[in-house]
Amino acid sequence: MRSISIFGATGSIGQNTVDLIARDRSRYRVVAVTGGANIARLAQDAIRLNAEIAVTAHADRFEDLRAALSGSGVAVAAGEAALIEAADRPVDWVMSAIVGAAGLAPGFRALRHGGTLALANKESLVTAGPLLLAEARAHGATILPVDSEHSAVFQALAGEDIAAVERIIITASGGGLRDWPVEALARATVADAGAHPNWAMGQRITIDSASMFNKGMELIETREFFGVPPSRIETVIHPQSIIHALVGFNDGALMAHLGAPDMRHAIGYALNWPERRDLPVARLDLAQIATLEFRAPDPRRYPALRIAREVMETRGGAGAVFNAAKEIALDGFVAGRIGFMDMATVVDRTLDAMASQICLTSSMANLEEVLMTDHMARKTAWTQIAKMES
């Protein structure tokens, strides 16, 4: 029986993970499940999975969680330190699906036991890629990508020599505004940007798809995880989201990964790796799909891609600044303080302003430095937003 923990169990990735585990209960011993403010869901899943401990990130919700789990035999804890303690419990497999910078520390901690870290939390690789990979190496741990594109690349690379890879192509749906005239984008509202044609996701990641800041994050993730130089990483718009990524080899072969847009594929692949087992995902009917389209992304429409490329070249602290600035820019957009296209301007200006304060090109020494850079970048990004308003 494999022991597992799920960090961010109550979120979108977390719930898909819970679904897969619950279907195959007898194969797993669930140690920790964690969540945030949704106490009812956390308690319900802890009971359903017979977890050893349930942890809410909110220290002030301890009593609520305790009440919800009283008599269940599930231990209860709350707060940031409790999340780290949960990560200290050794298990064979950990799902890292907390959203944002809060997911970094538990993921790092879990690597200390060796075992496998299924990594959904994008921010870990974007802000601290080299540190995370070094930590995994130091403890003999395995990191498996859970973002669908990176899982697709990982699968296309199975049994291959990375030295024979000529290029990695990450596909992008183009987001909800992909067919709008470029000139109209500046007027796009939160509701316009928050509707996705293919994937059902939260509002923030859906807006990040429309702006392609999400794809920018994924390009950086690709660079960090697979160690391929930026010149060999491309992105192409593929509106159907059927091909998730392609890997091109030096003999001209291009291996594509196709699948229904369902995150349970990437999660299930990481859960069953190195085996493949049945997964409850829809099978593709190619004759019915009939056509797969591709087009090059227009750089005027998606400045986020250019910025991400600059970050891939700079590395060091640039990833942490990029991630923090694009989150604050999104907050500013959602709050109605800046327009849709201004988000890229905020990120550009934050990177410039930060580069004049600290050396962005030097490597991050440790997690504390990453979090400090994140904190500074957030403040700087708000300053840029305020300047743009005045």
Q: Which residues bind ligand NAD (CB under 6 A)?
A: 8-14, 35-36, 57, 97-99, 102, 120-123, 147, 201-202, 205, 263
Which residues are 243's β-sheet partners?
Answer: 258
**Segment contacting Mg ion (CB under 5 A): 134-142, 143-151, 312-320, 359-367?**
143-151
**Segment contacting Mg ion (CB under 5 A): 29-37, 74-82, 144-152, 342-350?**
144-152
Place of tokens 């308690």: 43
As measured in angstroms, the least distance from the Cβ of 205 to Mg ion is 9
Q: How far is CA 384 from the centre of its chain?
A: 26
As measured in angstroms, the least distance from the Cβ of 249 to ligand NAD is 26
Secondary structure string (H, E, C) spanning 260-301: CCCHHHHHHHHHHCCCCCCCCCCCCCHHHHCCCCCECCCCCC
As measured in angstroms, the least distance from the Cβ of 52 to Mg ion is 31
Q: Of 103, 142, 143, which Cα lies nearest the Cα of 122?
A: 103
Closer residue to ligand NAD in complex, CB, 56/350: 56
Q: How far is CA 17 from the centre of its chain?
A: 15
As measured in angstroms, the least distance from the Cβ of 283 to ligand NAD is 20
Does the footprint of Mg ion cover residue 224 (CB under 5 A)? no
Does the footprint of Mg ion cover residue 221 (CB under 5 A)? no
**Residue 14 interacting partner from ligand NAD, Mg ion, none (CB closer than 5 to 8 Å by kind):** ligand NAD
Closer residue to ligand NAD in complex, CB, 147/224: 147
Sign of CA dihedral 126, 129, 131, 132: positive
Distance CA 275, CA 93 (A): 14
Cβ-proximal residue to ligand NAD, closest one: 11
As measured in angstroms, the least distance from the Cβ of 198 to Mg ion is 11
Order across the sheet with 116-119: list the strands: 75-78, 53-56, 28-35, 2-7, 93-96, 116-119, 142-145
Distance CA 274, CA 40 (A): 34
Does the footprint of Mg ion cover residue 147 (CB under 5 A)? yes
Closer residue to ligand NAD in complex, CB, 10/380: 10
As measured in angstroms, the least distance from the Cβ of 287 to ligand NAD is 28
Closer residue to ligand NAD in complex, CB, 156/353: 156
**Residue 202 interacting partner from ligand NAD, Mg ion, none (CB closer than 5 to 8 Å by kind):** ligand NAD
Phi (first) and psi of residue 34, to 5 degrees: -130, 155
Tell me which H or E stretch contains 193. Answer: helix 190-193
Distance CA 370, CA 316 (A): 10
Give the footprint of Mg ion on this chain (CB under 5 A): 147-149
